[in-house]
Structure 1
Amino acid sequence: MATYVWDYLPEYENEREEILGAVDKVFSSGRLVLGESVRGFEEEFAAYHGAGHCVSVDNGTNAIKLALQALGVGPGDEVITVSNTAAPTVVAIDATGATPVFVDVRADDHLMDVEQVASAVTGRTRCLLPVHLYGQCADLAPLRDLADRHGLVLLEDCAQAHGARQNGRPAGITGDAAAFSFYPTKVLGAYGDGGAVLTSRKGVAEDLRRLRYYGMEKTYYTVQTPAHNSRLDEVQAEILRRKLTRLDTYVADRREVARRYAEGLGDTDLLLPRVNPGNDHVYYVYVVRHPRRDDIIERLKAYDIHLNISYPWPVHTMTGFARYGYSEGSLPVTERLAGEIFSLPMYPSLPAGLQDKVIVAVREVLATLSPRHAPALSRLPSVRDPS
């Protein structure tokens, strides 16, 4: 049986009746756009986080873009962020007409190196945009302090951090706003695209509701500020409402998968994820690091295990962003990580047997690269789930 980094089918098998029930509820409601399911999800998602407002949108990229616009970011402004992220983070900045300014990340946790941010602030800086990468929060307290001292806005990219916490506070409530994605692979994933913005600023929420609806205020016929259609679909909203009630369970299951990896691979020379003090990691992806990454991925194909890389090409090196003037070597840690990181299978319904297969295969491949790992293969029965 082929093994991949993500598979939604086991989850769908377990939740099929509820998912189809959500679809039927919407189709039977008489309201297919911006109806009760969207309103209900927004209220429940805001309440889960203790935020004042949630405005749902059609995808995570637009969540970032519209949040930036609602926070007053636009042409001529600079937004400080990282290059070790999914391209949509920067695509959204670019779409507002603002300029992304990259700082490097730390080698141990792959998160924004907040010590570099202060020196990147200029007279054009308008926004700090940390990415809560892989499922744990960047260091928010110093960023909040820096934003307040310089009169900047703080926007959290929470696309990978549903349910994550830092010092007991949910990801998404320290910033002036926070953008979430509900792409199917996410910790809280829809069965299609979806996104949302959390904010406790009423005016920002009001602007967001206009921006997702052509720039219209309440009625379909009056445009205040021209914008696009960026609404969350009612079907996806109803599915998300039901899955939100299981978010903590999804997170607990992901942590158990991570624990089993740590037990099964902790004595190898793979660099496993580091969890920073005060952070509750939700393991959106389980990213490991090895200098012979490409050899490992290629050799695992013989076991019918197919892995991916998050992310193989730093955003600042992409042709589409060459105009921002970053040359090779400008972000050395980010660039080095891009050649060494890869993701092991991670999803809540990952069968124990498949995870054991991955652990055994990785250890066998590592043994061909470094023979000292071979004897430890006998440890594997200790990580098997008797059930």
Structure 2
Amino acid sequence: MASAVDFIDLKSQYAALKPSVDARIQAVLDHGQYIMGPEVEEMEAKLSAYVGGAECISVSSGTEALLIALMALGIGPSDEVITSPFTFAATAEVIALVGATPVFVDIEPDTCNINVSLVEAAITSRTRAIMPVSLYGQTADMQELNDIADRHGLAVIEDAAQSFGATYHDAKSCNVSRIGCTSFFPSKPLGCYGDGGAIFASDPELTTVMRQIRVHGQGKRYHHVRVGVGGRMDTIQAAVILAKLEQFEWEVERRIAIGQRYIDRLAGMNSIQLPVVRPDRSCVWAQFTIQTADRDALIAALKAQGIPTAIHYPVPLHMQPAYGPISRISGTLNNAEAVSQRVLSLPMHPYLTEETQDRIIAALPV
């Protein structure tokens, strides 16, 4: 049997960045400021510059980023937040945690992002925000969502956990709506070596509130001006991000090239449906996810050749025991239910060689 393929190869990434990663971590060990050390401020400044100037507030996870954003907007019981049912649970989880109701709108069958044409019909007097998910590394139709939000006095919070580095109309993901939230979970396009995340916004009043919420609602030490959370990002994780930023642009270019090579080589294969990237945006391929009517056969064929796969995501959120009873469905969710039975993610990372990629492609049954 051939050697196993890595689904995401963090070992090769570390080998390429080892001197910088080790030096950055050692610097934190030397100064000993493990919480809110100087690397945190340095990282926030560099990430702010990267996305185009929106202020960056680093936090302990992508989930915490979304939660703090909702808290800063004052969203709570009796409020509704419109989002996608086809995403990781954290998206709906944070809505529920603040006491609001997740309102699910169906997705586009080709991008798997929220279908913006269905959003306005889901708005009620209780709606406070729209939370699109930039799934697989590609943003939703953000301009249309922003226009809808402006007409109805709503906030748009981009769940950009999978899309940091992607562009929309030449603007960076995380800087295409009122608030952008991302994750630095290790498998993400820009990942640390534990949990981490960030919030991006350009409203000074809002960013001040989010910074206060991040440190237990403190306006100054031991002076709590609002209810908050323990949401700070560890200094060591910020140090890792700083090291990875040194070649992040190269990694984004590699992701785009590898994704396009998959599309080019798999074109015409009747057994699968390829993902679609809209012409006005880029995709950083947090996952390269195909669709197939015979998923079990593809999984078995790839596994036999030592090639791992994953399913993002097998059960839509409105069908999950925790979220079905507390959510509201607008219209039907036929696309979300259908693609959950068809999606299959192939190995994808910036260090995927053409040889290994060709091996993955060759293992797919025609």
CA RMSD in angstroms, aligned pairs only = 1.4
Q: Distance in 1 between matches of 2:96 and 2:7?
A: 30
The 1:210–1:282 alpha-carbon spacing in structure 2 relative to 1, beyond 3 Å, is: same
1:51–1:198 CA contact under 8 A, matched in 2: no
- After TM superposition, the score normalised by the length of structure 2 is 0.96
1:156–1:175 CA contact under 8 A, matched in 2: yes
2:103–2:328 CA contact under 8 A, matched in 1: no
Q: Distance in 1 between matches of 2:291 and 2:6?
A: 18
Instruction: Pick the aligned partner of 1:55 from 36, 54, 57.
Output: 57
Q: How does 1:278-357 map to 2 (within 5 A)?
A: 278-324=280-326, 330-357=332-359
* Larger Cα-atom Rg: 1
Question: Do structure 1's residue 100 and structure 2's residue 102 form an aligned pair?
Answer: yes
2:25–2:239 CA contact under 8 A, matched in 1: yes
Residue number in structure 2 paired with 1:277: 279
Q: Distance in 1 between matches of 2:301 and 2:218?
A: 55
Q: How much identity, in percent, do the aligned residues show? A: 36
Shift of 1:325: 5.6
Q: Distance in 1 between matches of 2:118 and 2:132?
A: 12
Q: Show CA shifts across 1:78-111 (max 9, x none).
A: 0000011111111111111111000000112111
Q: Distance in 1 between matches of 2:8 and 2:190?
A: 14
Q: How does 1:53-202 map to 2 (within 5 A)?
A: 53-202=55-204
Residue number in structure 1 paired with 2:216: 214
Shift of 1:11: 0.8
Q: Distance in 2 between matches of 1:336 and 1:326?
A: 19
Q: Distance in 2 between matches of 1:236 and 1:304?
A: 32
Q: How does 1:31-50 map to 2 (within 5 A)?
A: 31-50=33-52
1:5–1:343 CA contact under 8 A, matched in 2: no
2:168–2:176 CA contact under 8 A, matched in 1: no
Structure 2 counterpart of 1:354, one-letter code: T
For the residue of structure 2 that corresponds to 1:280, the secondary structure is coil
Moved over 6 A (4+): none
Residue number in structure 2 paired with 1:238: 239
Shift of 1:326: 6.2
State the aligned residue count: 362
For the residue of structure 2 that corresponds to 1:320, the secondary structure is coil
Gapped runs of 5+ residues in structure 2? Answer: none
Shift of 1:4: 3.7
- After TM superposition, the score normalised by the length of structure 1 is 0.91
Gapped runs of 5+ residues in structure 1? Answer: 367-387
1:34–1:233 CA contact under 8 A, matched in 2: yes
1:4–1:307 CA contact under 8 A, matched in 2: no
Shift of 1:51: 2.8
Q: Which one has more relative contact order, counting CA pairs under 8 Å at least 6 apart?
A: 2
